[in-house]
Amino acid sequence: MKQVGLEKPLLKVDGIAMVERVLLALADSDRFDRIVAVTSPNTPQTKELLNSKGIETIETAGEGYSNDLSDLLSELRPRRVMVVPCDLPLLNSQIVGEILDLIDNSRHEQAPAISIILKKGFVETIGVKPSVVLDEYCHSGITIFNTRATGTGTEPVEERYLVVNRKEIALNVNTQEELELAKKLLV
């Protein structure tokens, strides 16, 4: 997804970088005491932009999602951590609040990990080809970790699922076509 030397998080939808859109949605929800953006040696331009805007960053080794996530959760222990990918340009503060309310009111609130999933058919109806599919569901990329209930980070984490069929979390931008679809759906 790199465009002429531009890192994926910096791709713009309606004039705003995707990473900024996600961070604004989180900040505007007023539900977090700390918002941290994760960067790696693979995203120096993103880190530079975030630092210029005063956003706290944690740099991981860039050795793959699982390793970087494990390092991040270890550093943020003991907290409840909402992990949101930077390529959800339709995310907004209302949806963030709805997800957190659903989790707070669910029987899974203290689970080590709660992943937000969508019905595959729902995602396909808005023109998105799901990238991470679990039977008839697909992963939004959003997971809430209770680091008090997770182990040291080296063993698998017990994961629960919560279905939230909303277009705002259905589109992870991984292709030029999905970037164009995000621009159309952002209304």
* Model confidence pLDDT, tens digit, residues 24-56: 999 999 999 999 999 999 999 999 999 999 999
Q: Dump pLDDT digits (tens) for 8-22.
A: 999 999 999 999 999
Tell me which DSSP letter residue 37 carries: E
d(CA 66, CA 43): 17
Residue 30 Ramachandran class (φ > 0 left, ψ -120 to 50 alpha, else beta): left
The DSSP code sequence of 101-126 is HHHHTSTTTTSSEEEEEEEHHHHHHT
Give the global pTM.
Answer: 0.91
